[in-house]
Amino acid sequence: MSGEAGTFGVSDAAACIRVPEDSDDKYARGVLGVVAGSDRYPGAAVLAVEAALRTGLGMVRYLGPRRAADLVLARRPETVTAAGRAQAWLIGSGLDDSGETDPLAEHRVSVALEAGAPLVLDAGALPLARDPRARSVPRVLTPHAGELARLTGVDRATVTADPERAVRDAAVTLDAVVLLKGATTRIATPDGRMLVVAEATPWLATAGAGDALAGILGALVATHARDLALSEIARGADHDRLAELAAAAAIVHGRAALRASAGGPLTILDLCAAVPAVIRGLLDGSER
C-alpha cells in the first residue's frame, strides 16, 4: 500500500477497524442499511450483506425485492429486513440496470438517500452522486473503469490510460470521495488527496468481487459514522476519513482475496470467509 506520501499502510488500516467496547450494543456499533440486489441480480445483495457482516458491525438492515431478501436471509438470518434507521447506507450493488421503472425500488433508494446518513454508492446507484439528496451528506463512490467512464462522460480508454487523473477529476467534479477499482485501487478526495492500494491478486477479477468490496466498505463506514461530523464545516475532514476507510476496505478486500486464493482460484464467498482473519491480523499486528 502506498499513498501519495506513502503514509497509509496496514497500521492505518488497522486504525480503521472499530473494536467493540463493553458499553456497546448493536446500535452503538453501527447499523448498515443496504439497498442492493434486484430480480435481475439477486446474488449481489447476498454478497454485499455477507461481506458487511464478516467485516463486523452491529446490524445489517436490508431493503430489497422479495427474492433477493429471501436469498439474503437464507444465507444470513441475522439480517434485518424491516425498515428503520441506519448509521450509513450502501446503495447500488446489483440494482436493476435494464432501464425499467420499479416504483418499489425507487422508494427504497429514496429512503436511503433521504436518511441524512453517509452513503456508499456502487454500480447502479453511481449516478445518484448528482442527486441533490445525496449531495448534502458525505459519500463515497466505488466505480470500476467502465462505470467511471459512463459517470463522467469520457470513454473507458481515457480512464484506463490515466486512471489517477480520471479518479481525481471525478472526485472534484462530483464533490465526493471516489474509489476507482482495478488491479490497483485508487481513492481520491475532492481536496486532491490520493490513496493507492495495490496488493490484491488478479484471481480477484471475478464476478461479485466489487459487491463484496462495497459490503466491506459499508460496514467500515457504518461503524465509524459517529466520527463523521456531517457538517459543511467539517466536510474536508469527513472526506479524508471516508478516503481512509475506503483504502482500509481495499486492503481488507485484497488481503482476504490473497488468503482465499493462496495462489489459485477463489470464489467471493471464500473471500468473505477470509475477512475476519484479515481483520484479526490487522488488530493483533500479524497482518503486515
Ligand X SMILES: Nc1ncnc2c1ncn2[C@@H]1O[C@H](COP(=O)(O)OP(=O)(O)O)[C@@H](O)[C@H]1O
Ligand Y SMILES: NC(=O)C1=CN([C@@H]2O[C@H](COP(=O)(O)OP(=O)(O)OC[C@H]3O[C@@H](n4cnc5c(N)ncnc54)[C@H](OP(=O)(O)O)[C@@H]3O)[C@@H](O)[C@H]2O)[C@@H](O)CC1
- Contacts for 139 with CB less than 8 Å, ≥ 6 apart: 118, 119, 120, 121, 129, 176, 177, 242
Indicate which of ligand Y, ligand X, none lies near residue 79 (CB less than 5 to 8 Å, by partner kind). Answer: none
Contact characters 104-123, ligand Y, x per CB under 6 A: -------------------x
CB of 98 to ligand Y, least distance (A): 10
CB of 147 to ligand Y, least distance (A): 5
Nearer residue to ligand Y within complex by CB, 245 or 268: 268
Nearer residue to ligand X within complex by CB, 41 or 62: 41
Nearer residue to ligand X within complex by CB, 15 or 207: 207
Nearest CA to 78 out of 39, 117, 40, 52 is that of 52
The packing angle between helices 268-284 and 209-224, to 10°, is 40
Nearer residue to ligand X within complex by CB, 99 or 202: 202
CB of 64 to ligand X, least distance (A): 16
Nearest CA to 124 out of 102, 138, 132, 115 is that of 102
Q: Is 205 in the site for ligand X (CB under 6 A)?
A: yes
Residue 5 neighbours by CB distance under 10 Å: 9
CB of 120 to ligand Y, least distance (A): 12
Residue position matching grid coordinates 451528506: 137
CB contact at 8 A, 94 and 259: no
CB of 209 to ligand X, least distance (A): 3
Stretch that binds ligand Y, among 6-14, 38-46, 171-179, 277-285 (CB under 6 A): 38-46
> What long-range pairs does 100-106 form, CB within 8 A, spacing at least 24?
102/38, 104/65, 105/38, 105/65
Nearer residue to ligand Y within complex by CB, 35 or 177: 35
Question: Any binding-site annotation on 270?
Answer: no
What b/e sequence results for 67-78 when a residue is b if at least 16 CB atoms lie within 10 Å of its CB, and e otherwise? ebbebbbebbee
Residue 168 neighbours by CB distance under 10 Å: 20
Q: Is 144 in the site for ligand X (CB under 6 A)?
A: yes
In the list 83, 207, 229, 283, the residue contacting ligand X (rule: CB under 6 A) is: 207
CB contact at 8 A, 6 and 36: no
Indicate which of ligand X, ligand Y, none lies near residue 43 (CB less than 5 to 8 Å, by partner kind). Answer: ligand Y
Question: Any binding-site annotation on 181?
Answer: yes
Nearer residue to ligand X within complex by CB, 97 or 114: 97
CB contact at 8 A, 244 and 215: no
Q: Is 147 in the site for ligand Y (CB under 6 A)?
A: yes
From the annotation, which residues make up the binding site for AMP?
181-185, 210
Q: Which residues bind ligand Y (CB under 6 A)?
A: 41, 43-44, 93-95, 97, 123-124, 144, 146-147, 207-208, 210-211
